[in-house]
A and B are shown apart, each in its own frame.
Chain A
Amino acid sequence: GQSLEQPSEVTAVEGAIVQINCTYQTSGFYGLSWYQQHDGGAPTFLSYNALDGLEETGRFSSFLSRSDSYGYLLLQELQMKDSASYFCAGRDAGKSTFGDGTTLTVKP
């Protein structure tokens, strides 16, 4: 099975940079995904790291270190619309297992 830990809440100001960390304990680990969820709506895919290193997609970047069982999501140039819940999810052969989620609040 898999278990993933991430902070429950993060607050930052508009225009800032924020990093959401995720540590995991898992067997059969393929990679780490990140999903965004607004107000209980559909989780939407942000990024996936199968290999160690940084993946960049616009304002969002994600990092994975397999040796440390650790990853993070980096959000740059924060906007008010980035206020949401962010979930890391560990991928194995059969499914993705989600962390508890981090609620990001962006303040003006």
Chain B
Amino acid sequence: EPEVTQTPSHQVTQMGQEVILRCVPISNHLYFYWYRQILGQKVEFLVSFYNNEISEKSEIFDDQFSVERPDGSNFTLKIRSTKLEDSAMYFCASMGEGSRNSPLHFGNGTRLTVT
């Protein structure tokens, strides 16, 4: 069964550094998302992306965050200058046809640790 893949599985970085989290969504999917989950808390929406542009973003997704689909397969999340509070699990998700019954397919996540 096709799956969403994310790399790396764990990223450790120093405060103020830039990080890029990578995702390969399911190949025929059209809608892409980033969510984050701080340890022990809920899954929080960051941004959705469709047709090569951001369709919606949350308050968390400030100017330090950006997303890109540089080619036909990758979907990346960049954090320009990381803060301690950015430490979390970041999940990429994709969705197929966009009908109301289509589920989100999540990757296994990247655990980001900012020191």
Contact = CB atoms under 8 A, between A and B. Distances in A.
Interface of A: 30-31, 33, 35, 37, 40-45, 48, 50, 87, 89, 91, 94-101
A94 B48 CA distance: 7
Interface range on chain B (Cβ under 8 Å from partner): 20 to 34
The interface residues of chain A, by DSSP majority, are classed as strand
A9 to B, nearest CB: 12
A87 B43 CA distance: 9
Contacts, number: 57
Given A94-B55, A100-B41, A43 B48 contact: no
A24 B39 CA distance: 23
A33 B109 contact: no
Contact of A31 (B39, B43, B89, B100): B100
